[in-house]
Every structure is written in C-alpha cells, then in structure tokens.
Chains A and B, each alone.
Chain A
Amino acid sequence: MALPTTPNPALSQVPAGYKYGWHDEAKPLHIFKKGLSAEIVAEISAIKGEPKWMLDRRLKAYRHFESRPMPTWGGDMSEIDFQDIYYYVTGTDKAVQSWDDVPDYIRKTYDRLGIPEAEKKYLAGVGGQYDSEVVYHNIREDLERQGVIFLGTDQALVEHEEIFREYFGTVIPANDNKLAALNTAVWSGGSFIYVPKGVHVELPLQAYFRINTESMGQFERTLIIADEGSSVHYVEGCTAPSYTTASLHSAVVEIIVKKGARVRYTTIQNWSHNVYNLVTKRAVAHEDAVMEWVDGNLGSHLTMKYPSIYLVGERAHGEVLSIAFAGDGQHQDAGGKVIHAAPNTTSLITSKSISQGTGRTSYRGLVKVYPGCTKSKSTVRCDALILSEEARSDTYPYMEIDEEDVTIGHEASVSKVGSEQLFYLMSRGMTEAEASAMIVNGFIEPIVKELPMEYAVEMNRLIQLQMEGAVG
C-alpha cells in the first residue's frame, strides 16, 4: 500500500497539548485502494451486502459529486486531493455490544480515550467508530425495552430497512452540495437513533469517532428520528492521530424532530490539525418541536460546518450554540442556519469564536423567513475574541426576510483581551497565560454551561490546552 506522498508543513502544526495524536500500527482487516471511482463506491456497497436501492443511491450520488464544482467560498480546500484518500478502511467485520469483543488494539484506543469508563458512569448508550466502521454499539437495556433504537447506521439498514428507507436522504438529499453527495456515495458508519412516541431518553447517547489510518476519509452518516413527544440528547466526540498529510472527515447528519419532540445534538470536535472537517448537518423540526445544536469546534485544519434547522411546523423552536477556537494554522468556518417555514416559529443563534496565533474564525450563518410565516422571531448574536495580531475573525450573517410580521435581529461584536483586564488579573498573581485563559473561559461561559458537566470540564480543559504556549 502506497504511503501518502505530499507532506504539508501547515498540517503538522500540532499544538503541544494535543494528546490524541498517537496512532495504532495494526494492519486493518480491509483497506480499499486509494482514490474514488464508481468501482470503489460499488465495492463499499458490496462489502456491506447492501440492498440494491442503496447501491443505486450511492452511484447516483457519486455522479452528482463528479459533476459539481468545489465550493469557492469559505476555507481553502485546494489541498484536498480526492484521489489521495482511502475511502474504506476497517479493522473489524461487525459492531459488537461488549468491549471484550472489540479487537485488542482498537479497544486500547478507546480505553485511552476513556470511553468505556464514561459509558459506565453517565451515558445511556455508546457507539464507537474506528476509521470506516462502527466497532462497538450498546444501549442500556431499559431503553431498548421501550423501543429505543441506537445502532450503527449500517446495522440499522440491515435490521430496520423500512424505517431507514423512509427517512434516509429526506433531510439532506444527495445533490444538496458536493460534499453531501460524496458522503452519500461512500458513507460508512455513523449512528442511527429512533426514539418512539413519548419516550424520554434521560441520559445522553454518545458516539465517539476516531480516525486512525493516515490519509483516511471518514464518511459517517447519522440519522436521528425523534417521534412525537419524545426527547433525546446525542453527543459526539472526535479525535485523530496527527499526520502531516491531509485526512478528510465529511459526515452527513439528518435529524427529524416530530411534533412536540425535543432533540439536542452536541459535538465536541477535536480532530488533529491535519483533518479537513467538511460536514453537512440539518434538522427538520415539526409542530411544537425543539431542536438544539451545540457545536464546539476546536480541532481540525479547516472546518466548514453550519448546522441547520428547518422550522416546518407551527411554534417549532430552534437553537444553535456555536463555539469555535482557531489556533495557529487553523480555520474554523462555522455557524448555523435557521429557516422559518411556518408561523410562530422562533430561533436563537449564539456564536462565540476565538482566534489566536495565525488562526482564523469565520461565523457564517443564515436566517430565512418565508412569506406567511407570521409572528416568527429570530435573534442572532455573534461575539468574537481575537487574541493575537496575526489572528483573523470574520462574520458573514445572511438574512433573507420575506415576511412583514416578524422580529428578526442580529448583533455582532469583535473584541480583544484588554490590557487592563490582563493587568488586573496578573496583579493578582496570575501568569499572562492563566489570565488570558480565564478571560477566554469567561467569554465562552454562556455556551459551556449548556454542556453536560463532563463535557463542560473537557471543553475548559481543551481551551486551556489551546491557550498554553500561545501567550507570553
């Protein structure tokens, strides 16, 4: 197997504190040759033993991918070579329900990440994806008895084909954008969640995504259906080894929040700094439903991700809490979109971004109100903190308002850490780094307090790591 050829120094700017940068040397069970073609797409489908309709979908999506140009806005994607990427790598044949059955070397990775420990303590279910395939999936028995389905997406296609087919690709069609088309063509892994009517999943379900192989493309596909009056909180985390060549993570996440249901989707994205993270996430919220995205972006070389909510039922409510931290060489192009397509719908987008070193954060968002969506209300609030002279911060908030009887507002501010603030804290005995970190923590507090305790602690720790060695 040929090794990736073109190391890019920009990708190897690993922060000293990134503690997930190791990789396993074990040889995968299956690895398809590098590059993308209709044959590779068909091979992925074949190894999964998929029904023909899915193969057809994949091939059609591949043609969309081929025919569409790369986006010219957002971040610099010119370094991505779609033919220099592995599209399918797996170390196992199937997802298992006990960590004991996970291959040793993979299990060790998850132990180091602390996942089995966390599962015992505070999660209702856990999924783990390693490169292309889900290696572990388990849910508490009481939830399973209530009819909650929490499976790897491939497994769900086998076991629940009917419901899967009804919803797959309905929120994000294959031709939505070039990278969604790519994902539809080569998707593998991800989580499938179905919460039956009226069932409340009290503890979060978590999935942990890990890329191990160099020049790997991970294309998980997640589908969440919260039936009427139900609720669920899904949390995903992601890390990868630090390599000097680009890896690609291009997921598609579709969520259907039915009447009166509530879904919260939390992401703590901590990819190593050689990962291009180009993700399409979208939810549809029906009557009286509530959809919340909590989107934390700390890792990756470039992230382009704008979680979206289509408010299609009356009184539906959507929230996006976006937090981005860009250090040296990183570009976080993040934000959120809310489309008001029914009367009396409400939304709130809050973005907090921090750039330091040569990092760049961009908030990119859209609020759209269709005619007839009377009494809709939306508030967008973006705050950016710039910590160094070379750092950059952009705000691109789009608004398309085609209804009179609405209240739509947007506000943004950009600021730096004031020298008086620093002076005050340092006069109390803090180092400059500690003082800056404290100010940053205060700045992101409104978002962090929305996280479950364990993640709030993790987020603060990650910010601390990003800050170390950056100041003073």
Chain B
Amino acid sequence: MTSGTSLSAPLRVDPDTLTANALAGLASARDEPDWLRAARLTNLERYLATPWPTGTEEEWRRTSLKDLPRDAALDENAATEVSALDPDSTAAGVVFASLADAAVTHSELVRPYLTDDVAGPATHAAFWQLARATWTTGTFLSVPARTRVDLVLRARTVQAAADGAMFPVTLVVVGEDAEVTLLEEFSSPDGSPSWFGGIVDLRTARGAKVRYASLQLLGDQAWRVSAQRVMVGQDAEVTTLNAEIGSRVTKLGLDIQMTGAGGTSRLLGLLAAGDDQKIDINSVQDLIGSHTTSDLLYLSALYDRAHAAFYGMTRVRSEAKQTSSYQECRNLLLSPGAGAEPIPVLEIETNDILRCGHGATAGAIDPTQMFYAQTRGLSADAAERMIVRGFFERAVADIGSEPIRARVLAALASRIGQDAA
C-alpha cells in the first residue's frame, strides 16, 4: 500500500464487514508505525472473538442496539485538540497530546497501553476492543511519578461528519504520587444518526490523585456506546464526573477497579436529558483491595419523554477487608412523559465491611420547594431552573475544580435554560 492521507473508500465499522485488510489500509493511510498497525490487528482479533451483547444480559435489557447506525463510515476528519502544558510540566516529562500524535512522538509510552489485554467493562467488552482497533482520535495523558500539574488540562474531540462514526480512545496514566486534572469534551453535529464509541482507560499508580471530567455534548441523533475503566491504585484518589447532555441514545458502561489497598474513588454523574433521549448507564464498583472507599453519586434531570436507566453494582470481594462504599442515584422527573429506572445492586461477599449501602429516588420536584421559590417572586420556569441547578450542584461541586464546575454548568444551559439573573 502507498502512503496516502486518505482511504480510497471510507472504512465502515459494521461488525459484519470490518476486516484486517480494511484496518491495515487505515493504518497505511495514516502512515502509522508498524507496532501500531500490529496493535490494531491484534485488537481486531480480540474484537472478532468477543460477541456483541444479545439484549438478554441484565445490563443490556433496557437499551436495544437495533437502530444503532452500524454501517456508518469512519469519520476521517474527526479530530482531538488538547490545551497547552505549562513549561514546568513539560520539563517534568508530562505528555499531553492527541493519541494520534503521541503514538508517533512517544510511542514507547503509548505502546504498552494499546497492546496489553486489558478488557474494559465486561458489558462493553466488544466495544472496548472495537475502539482499540479502529480509533482515529483520542487523548493521551501521561504524568510521571511525583509530578503535580496545577493547570486544568483540557481536550476536545469533535466529529465532523454528521452521519459518521468515531471511536476516540482516551488514555490517562498517572504515576506514583502524581496529581492531575483533565476535562474532556466530546461533540458531534446534530441531525443525522451517528455512532460514537469512545472509551476511557484511566490508570493510577500508588498515591496518585486524579480528577477526570467528561462532558458529553454529542449531536441529537448520536448513539453513544461507550465504556470507561478506572483502575485505582494503592492509596490513590480518583474522582470522575460524567456530564451527559447530548446524544439520542447513550449506553455507558463503567468499570471501577478498586485494586490497590487504601484507594478512594468518587464517581459523579450528571444527566440532563430531554426530548426522546435515552441514557442508560451500568457500573461496577469492584472493591478488591482492603481499606478501599468508593462512593457514587448520579443525578438525573429528565424532561419531555427522556428516560434514564442506571444499573449500578457494588461488589465487595471476600478478600476485601474494611471497605466503605455507597451508591446514590437520584432522578428528577420534570414532565409527565419522563421515566427512570434506578437499580442499585449490592453483592457483598464478606462481613468485614465498614460501611455499605445505597439509595435511589425518583419523582417530581417537591411542590413545597416550588411554592417557596415562587413566593419569592420567581416564575414557575425560573423556579424549576433554580431547583434543578441546585439539585446538580452537589455533583459539580464535588469534582473539586472550579473551572470544570463552571464549564459544566454553562453547558447545562442548553438543556435546562439560562438563569435570568
């Protein structure tokens, strides 16, 4: 194959027609190093050996992939832009770049994470490997041990073609006692069915401290079938925030591996959905290490005919001693057609726990709150906006980063409306 800048025919990711030849063509067209081409082909084999969900799996009963635009063409013009690093961080060896660039400039750093056999959430195993085989965009962040990045890093991945497909891979690797904050945004055009299959692979070494926020602003006909895997090392502290605002259908799988003793994770989610949006999230908080702590808070505000499902599993392994965990899932139903299915599941295999529980609610805004706000002179709409913002405040405040909080609240305006004052 010659080295071109573009494929002669667009690569289609349809699982029935995706072949090694087509993928090799992609690698050639992108002038990729041999190791990367080989990694793509290995991951393709893994993908082909992994069945798609059938719809009978507990986590897949609420979302059907029947209407997924599975013959969408890979969007060659999709791109990831990242913010600049401060000179100190660069000097310390921090690498922050689009995955495509990093794979060339820092192949020795990137390579292990694109070739190992880490499988991602079991519910999304096929999609995990599909993304690792076909990605063209994505973000790479590597922070060496004992390095602290003060600036909030930002990455933006944008799809160009309204009816295309993209499978960005985000790789975040944080060394011992290092600290970093990353805000990612994903967007695509409105109007045509598209397929977003991005994955996030976040790995932390001992004592690392990471804040990761994902702001999902995909187009109104987009299908998001995505997975995140968070590996929390010994005594590491990880906070993640998923703000789900766009897409027609989202089916997100989270796999939180609390492997290191003494690790802490705080998992925040915020869903603002309207029209006929369907947001379905499944999570596993897998408490494997002793003295680990994992708390999850997912909040949904559902307008129009939007529907949110949350199937969250807390699993405390028999060998995990003295763990603490909680799951909280709250749903505000803001119109008669909205619906919610919060399902917080516990599987506890030991009695040696410090704290374990969950809470889930669904319902309208408390009428006394509305009444109170209206007696203060707010219109019903303004009162509702204020209450919804207040409802979300817990999740956005807990991320512990003012720039992220401000950006997420601003992005919410498209769904919940602007405040007058």
Closest to A398 in B: B343
Interface string of B335-361 (1 = CB under 8 A from A): 111111111111111111100111111
Binary interface encoding of chain A residues 387-430 relative to chain B, with 1 for a CB under 8 A from any of its CBs, else 0: 11111111111111111111111111111110000000000000
Q: Which of B331, B342, B346 contacts A395 (CB 8 A)?
A: B346
Is A139 in contact with chain B by the CB < 8 A criterion?
Answer: no
- Residues of B with Cβ closer than 8 Å to A? 58, 318, 331, 333-353, 356-364
For the complex, give the distance between the alpha carbons of A400 and B337 in Å.
13
Residue A384 interfacial (CB < 8 Å): yes
- What residues of B have a CB within 8 angstroms of the CB of A393 in the complex? 346, 348
Asked if B336 and A399 sit within 8 Å, CB to CB, the answer is no
Indicate if A371 sits at the interface (CB-CB under 8 A).
yes
B346 pairs with A402, CB closer than 8 A: no
Beyond A392-B348, A401-B341, whether A410 also contacts B359 by CB under 8 A is yes
Is A311 among interface residues, defined by CB-CB distance under 8 A? Answer: no
In angstroms, Cα B353 to Cα A417, docked, is: 10
Question: Do residues A394 and B347 form an inter-chain contact, with CB atoms below 8 A?
Answer: yes
Whether B341 pairs with A394 at a CB distance below 8 angstroms is: no
How far does the Cβ of A43 sit from chain B's closest Cβ, in whole Å? 37
Count of chain A residues near B, Cβ 8 A: 35
| Mask: chain A, 37-80; 1 = CB below 8 Å from B; 0 = not | 00000000000000000000000000000000000010000000
B269 nearest CB across to chain A (Å)? 17
- Starting from the known contacts A386-B353, A397-B360, A410-B344, 14 additional A-B residue pairs (CB-CB under 8 Å) come to A389-B350, A389-B352, A395-B358, A401-B333, A401-B362, A403-B336, A404-B363, A406-B333, A408-B363, A409-B359, A410-B361, A411-B358, A412-B346, A413-B356
Please state if B339 and A386 are interface contacts (CB–CB under 8 Å).
no
- Residues of A participating in the B interface, judged by any CB pair closer than 8 Å: 73, 371, 384, 386-417
Q: Is the CB of B364 within 8 A of A399?
A: no
Given contacts A411-B357, A416-B351, contact A404 B346 (CB under 8 A): no
Q: Which residues of chain B are near A404, meaning CB under 8 Å?
A: 333-338, 363-364
Q: Using A386-B351, A392-B349, A406-B364 as known contacts, say yes or no to A400 and B341 having CB atoms under 8 A apart.
A: yes
A406 to B338, CA, bound (A): 12
Contact at B343–A399, with CB atoms within 8 Å?
yes
* Bound-complex Cα distance A413 to B355 (A): 8
- On whether the beta carbons of B349 and A416 are closer than 8 Å, the reply is no
A457 and B358 CA atoms in complex are apart in Å by: 32
| 29 A-B interface contacts by CB (under 8 A) | A371-B337, A384-B348, A386-B353, A389-B350, A389-B352, A390-B318, A391-B351, A394-B346, A396-B345, A397-B343, A398-B341, A399-B340, A399-B362, A401-B331, A401-B339, A401-B341, A402-B339, A404-B335, A405-B336, A405-B364, A406-B362, A406-B363, A407-B361, A407-B363, A408-B362, A410-B344, A410-B361, A412-B344, A414-B348
- Bound Cα distance from A404 to B346, whole angstroms: 27
A410 touches B342 (CB 8 A): yes
**B residues within 8 A CB of A390?**
318
Chain A residues whose C-beta falls within 8 Å of the C-beta of B348 in the assembled complex: 384, 386, 392-394, 414
Nearest residue in B to A367 (C-beta to C-beta)? B362
| Cα A100 to Cα B360 with chains together (Å) | 56
Shortest beta-carbon distance from A207 to chain B in Å: 34
Task: Write the nearest CB–CB distance from B111 to chain A, whole angstroms.
Answer: 41
Distance of A384 Cα from B350 Cα, bound (Å): 12
Instruction: Tell me if A414 and B353 are in contact (CB < 8 A).
Output: yes
Of chain A, the residue at the smallest CB distance from B325 is A414
CB contact between B359 and one of A389, A406, A411, A417 (< 8 Å): that residue = A411
